[in-house]
Amino acid sequence: MPKVAVDQQASIGCKNKHTFWYGYKKHVSIDMQTGLINKVAVTPAHIPDAQGLKHICPRQGAVYGDKGYSVSPARVELARRGCHNATIKRKAMKDKDRDKDRSC
């Protein structure tokens, strides 16, 4: 990568076994009532979503997110800040409710 990449802070990230990219991830916090953006954070692509949550997590309320925000470090951060965890659960999680995770 050093011959190709000029940006020293960018990194390789993966979404699944077949999807990789070089660059960054953005994490965005949006107020659900007004639709306004509260916070934005950018992390290198290899940083997990759960670690990016600490940069945008509100002090109260509910947090809705994809499966990347349902792992243990994110759940701990949400509890520490007094937030309700409304993230989509991973398949193997005991409290997974498939009806709640369906899109309309």
Which of these, 45, 44, 43, 41, lies nearest to 14 by C-alpha position? Answer: 45
Q: What is the pLDDT along the chain (104 residues), one digit of tens a residue?
A: 555 567 888 888 887 788 888 889 999 999 888 999 999 999 999 998 889 999 999 988 899 888 888 888 888 999 999 999 888 776 666 666 666 656 54
Q: Which DSSP string corresponds to 6-64? A: --SS-EEEESSSS-EEEEEEEEEEE-TTT--EEEEEEEETTS-HHHHHHHH--SSEEE-
Amino acid identity at 103? S
Domain ranges of the chain: 11-91
